[in-house]
């Protein structure tokens, strides 16, 4: 089991409860990089209605879905068809198709020009409605998680706030279709680390998520219905000079008797603004932990990684 914590402790006015949350989160992120969070800000109704709309969308005919696959966007908005994305270092496409909702920029922030507009599905209005609702709730939850991380690292509690305001975050409803033929070597999603700062995963509809622990063993991860699974991404690992761990994880194919079952999963990838520096924090550099990474911005790093996984040419 991965450690379980309650965000209500962090949001309480009780200094000891808040500090206990910070300590438990930091320990989990140093040791395994994953934690289960209850007391988050995503409503059950939003979650269940988004899953239903997600199932309705992926049930559409391929020609209907492909209307929403827009060339030139590197998959950053709308639909990405089956097998297009692969793990870094692999050529074989993962057994999945997915959709991307992105940032909604309000006011006159010039960063608006960096982001494509969101795409909405005419046939299923609820998909966009509940997708954006979930996006905002998960973004707000992630902001509080990052505040706790900042305290743990000895930074100002609000260190990340302006860096993630109108950040390049993505909500990704994923469909892993039923498996009809013996797969060659592809798994539903090959072992990988996430690119971003943190990932907040709504409870998946079927088992299959595994993480690699320090003993080099694959461990099954399941969240209770009311929990989010929240893990460290490579950007946060880089920023903290490997103090916090971006853990390798994968989605394995189910046993043969369950091949006929599809799997749905909705992760929220919390990204910073492109100008955020990912240079290793001085607080995380020491004689025992010298600098592991070259200076780079969030935007530069994202482009580099999108090329590695086949979404950007």
Cβ–Cβ < 8 Å for 15, 46: no
The whole domain housing 297 covers 4-308
Cβ–Cβ < 8 Å for 226, 38: yes
Q: For residue 313, is it within any domain? A: no
Which pLDDT value is given to residue 91?
52
Pair of tokens at residue 203? 């409870």
Residue whose C-alpha is closest to residue 195's, from 131, 117, 267, 143: 267
Give per-residue pLDDT as tens, 255-310. 777 777 788 889 999 999 999 999 999 999 999 999 999 999 999 998 888 777 66
Which residues face 268 on adjacent strands?
171, 200
User: What confidence category does residue 82 fall into, taking pLDDT thresholds of 50, 70 and 90?
Assistant: confident
CB count, 10 Å around CB of 15? Answer: 8
Average pLDDT of every residue of the chain: 88
Q: Please name the residue that has the structure tokens 């998946």.
A: 204
Pair of tokens at residue 91? 């050529």
Q: For residue 195, is it within any domain? A: yes
Structurally, the chain folds into a number of domains equal to 1
Q: What is the CATH number for 304?
A: 2.60.120.330
Q: For residue 55, is it within any domain? A: yes
Percent of the chain having pLDDT more than 70? 90
Rounded average pLDDT over 19-31: 95
Q: For residue 162, is it within any domain? A: yes
Which pLDDT value is given to residue 126?
96
Rounded average pLDDT over 74-97: 70
DSSP letter for 68, please: T
Give per-residue pLDDT as tens, 224-269. 778 999 999 999 999 999 999 898 888 777 777 777 778 888 999 9
When mean pLDDT is compared across 45-54, 128-137, 213-222, 249-258, the lowest value belongs to 249-258
Q: For residue 228, is it within any domain? A: yes
Residues counted in the chain: 313
User: What confidence category does residue 220 fall into, taking pLDDT thresholds of 50, 70 and 90?
Assistant: confident
On the question of pLDDT at 185 being above 60, the answer is no
Give per-residue pLDDT as tens, 149-165. 999 999 999 999 999 99
Residue whose C-alpha is closest to residue 182's, from 78, 309, 95, 288: 95
Q: For residue 136, is it within any domain? A: yes
Q: For residue 109, is it within any domain? A: yes
Q: Which residues of 249-265 are buried (b: 16+ CB within 10 A; e: fewer)?
A: bbbbbbeeeeeeeebbb
Rounded average pLDDT over 120-142: 97
Q: Model pTM?
A: 0.91
Rounded average pLDDT over 106-127: 94
Q: For residue 193, is it within any domain? A: yes
């Amino acid at each position: 089991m991965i450690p379980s914590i309650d965000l209500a402790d962090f949001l309480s006015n009780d200094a000891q409860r808040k500090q206990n949350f910070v300590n438990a989160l930091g320990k989990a992120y140093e040791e395994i990089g994953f934690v289960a969070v209850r007391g988050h800000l995503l409503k059950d109704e939003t979650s269940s209605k988004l899953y239903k709309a997600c199932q309705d969308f992926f049930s559409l005919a391929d020609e209907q879905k492909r209307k929403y696959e827009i060339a030139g966007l590197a998959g950053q908005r709308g639909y990405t068809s089956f097998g297009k994305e692969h793990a870094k270092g692999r050529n074989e496409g993962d057994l999945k198709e997915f959709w991307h909702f992105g940032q909604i920029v309000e006011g006159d922030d010039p960063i608006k020009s960096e982001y494509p507009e969101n795409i909405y599905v005419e046939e299923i209005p609820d998909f966009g409605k509940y997708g954006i609702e979930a996006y905002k709730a998960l973004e707000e939850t992630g902001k509080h998680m990052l505040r706790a991380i900042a305290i743990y690292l000895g930074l100002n509690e609000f260190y990340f706030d302006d860096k993630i305001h109108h950040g390049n975050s993505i909500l990704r409803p994923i469909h892993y279709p039923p498996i009809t033929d013996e797969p060659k070597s592809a798994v539903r999603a090959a072992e990988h680390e996430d690119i971003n700062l943190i990932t907040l995963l709504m409870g998946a509809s079927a088992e299959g998520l595994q993480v690699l622990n320090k003993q080099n063993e694959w461990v099954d991860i399941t969240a209770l219905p009311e929990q989010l699974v929240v893990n460290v991404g490579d950007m946060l690992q880089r920023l903290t000079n490997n103090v916090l761990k971006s853990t390798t994880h994968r989605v394995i194919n189910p046993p043969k008797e369950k091949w006929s079952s599809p799997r749905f999963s909705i992760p929220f990838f919390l990204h910073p603004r492109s100008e955020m520096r990912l240079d290793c924090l001085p607080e995380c550099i020491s004689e025992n932990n010298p600098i592991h990474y070259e200076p780079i911005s969030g935007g530069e790093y994202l482009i580099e990684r999108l090329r590695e996984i086949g979404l950007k040419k």
